[in-house]
Amino acid sequence: MSDQKRHGSLALDIQGLVVEFHTLDGVVHAVNGLDLSIEQGTTLGLVGETGAGKTTTALSVLRLLAQPAGRIRAGSIRLDGEDLLAKSEQEMGKIRGKQVSMIFQDPMTSLNPVMTVERQIAEVIAHHTRLPERQAVEQARQMLETVGIPGERGSEYPHQFSGGMKQRVVIAMALACSPQLLIADEPTTALDVTIQAQVLEMMKQLRQTYQMSMLMITHDLGIVAETCDRVAVIYAGRIVEYGTLEDIFEHTLHPYTRGLFDSLPNLEDRTARLKPIPGLMPDPANLPEGCAFCTRCAYATDQCAQHRPERFYRTQEHYAECHRCRQICFEKGGSAVWE
């Protein structure tokens, strides 16, 4: 496949992304050579623990890293084949909210408390369509109806809405200009479980209606199973396992992914104890030389501590970055089994 053609069919293509934060205490390596691609019209789940670099990756796409500390050191980010890192700030202004939108984690804090919600939604419409304020507000109210909020409530302020309603407002704002790519950064983490299901269901429907591609950032494998076509597992700023939903759930390769599954409660066997992954993510200011997961991995060997693992491809698409799964996979005859 030629490069051009490959880019053409991808909604988002990130290659070799390196993001650093320069702080007084030194350089924090938040993202370390991350590859990620989303095919048009599909949903990719980006799964990992707190601090793995999920949000940093998302903000890099929008080029909204905290300034001046955050820097994209290397790599490329292509949206629909267009190199986002080569864009000027002004050009990014036409892309943000129009071609790529983002839903942020905490709806409580992501709306401006002193502006009515319809004006907050109308702002993005007016900015990208040059519609006059009144028509933009009219459209904003229609967007509210789309996410299940009566339009006349648009003249209220965020504090007059519940958490779930606020997240609907945020979603309405993100979808107002029908973006090609929607980045949802833990969109339901701050919500009650019952509300979570509602919001997720709504997002799934809207994604279909709007024919969007989506990057679903989460730490919740349940949400991944529910909404995603493909899954990328991120650890210490690198994709450690990537594959289709089935690959990841049925043919888990990486011990870290295995650990994520083991951390989930099992409804069928309620006597089974949870097996949390021991230890913490390595300090991104001081990453180990070899595999970043080796300090927490039950299968780690000397090789893991010293050398960065290459990718091991189980199928053409499904891979993991792990020294051991190659061995285990071959020993067990084609399917890695972690016991």
Partner 1 sequence: MLKYILKRLISLLPVIIGATLIVYLILNMAQGDPARIILGENATPEAIAQLREEMGLNDPVLVRYGRYMLNLVHGDMGTSYRTNAPVSDEIFARLPYTLWLAAASIIICILLALPLGTIAAIKQNSFLDGLCMVLSLLGVSMPSFWLGLLLILLFSLTLGWLPPFGADEWKSVILPAFALAVSSMASVARTTRASMLEVIRQDYIRTARSKGISQGRVIRRHALRNAMIPTMTSIGIQVGFLLSGSVLVETVFSWPGIGRLMITSIQQRDIPTVLGCIIIFAIFFSIVNLIVDLLYGFIDPRMKSQYA
Name the site residues for partner 1 (rule: CB under 8 A): 62, 64, 89-90, 92-98, 101-102, 104, 106, 109-115, 123-124, 127-128, 157, 159, 170, 173
Closest CA to 215 of 11, 43, 49: 43
Closest CA to 189 of 210, 152, 218: 218
For partner 1, which is the closer residue by CB, 93 or 278?
93
b/e map 301-333, b = 16+ CB within 10 Å: eeebeeeebeebebeeebbbbbbbbbebbeeee
Minimum CB distance to partner 1, residue 212 (Å): 15
For partner 1, which is the closer residue by CB, 48 or 107?
107
Distances (CA, A) of 133 to 126, 129, 215, 217: 6, 11, 31, 33
Backbone torsions φ then ψ of 84, nearest 5 degrees:
-70, -30
For partner 1, which is the closer residue by CB, 121 or 239?
121
Minimum CB distance to partner 1, residue 120 (Å): 8
Minimum CB distance to partner 1, residue 86 (Å): 17
H or E segment to which residue 258 belongs: helix 255-262
In sequence order, the 6+-apart residues with CB closer than 8 A to the CB of 316 are: none
For partner 1, which is the closer residue by CB, 78 or 166?
166
Minimum CB distance to partner 1, residue 97 (Å): 4
List the beta bridge partners of residue 216.
45, 184
Residue 159, token pair as written in the block: 């504090």
Minimum CB distance to partner 1, residue 187 (Å): 13
For partner 1, which is the closer residue by CB, 31 or 117?
117
Give the type of residue at 28: V
For partner 1, which is the closer residue by CB, 186 or 226?
186
**Strands across the sheet containing 70-79:** 26-39, 10-23, 70-79, 82-83
Distance CA 134, CA 283 (A): 50
Query: What's the residue count for the chain?
Result: 339
Q: How far is CA 128 from the centre of its chain?
A: 24
The two beta strands, 43-47 and 10-23, are unpaired
For partner 1, which is the closer residue by CB, 159 or 275?
159
Distance CA 331, CA 81 (A): 41
Minimum CB distance to partner 1, residue 298 (Å): 38
For partner 1, which is the closer residue by CB, 115 or 225?
115
For partner 1, which is the closer residue by CB, 108 or 245?
108
Minimum CB distance to partner 1, residue 132 (Å): 16
Distance CA 300, CA 134 (A): 62
- The answer to whether the beta carbons of residues 158 and 111 sit under 8 Å apart is yes
Distance CA 118, CA 9 (A): 35
Helices 133-146, 117-129: axis angle to 10 degrees equals 120
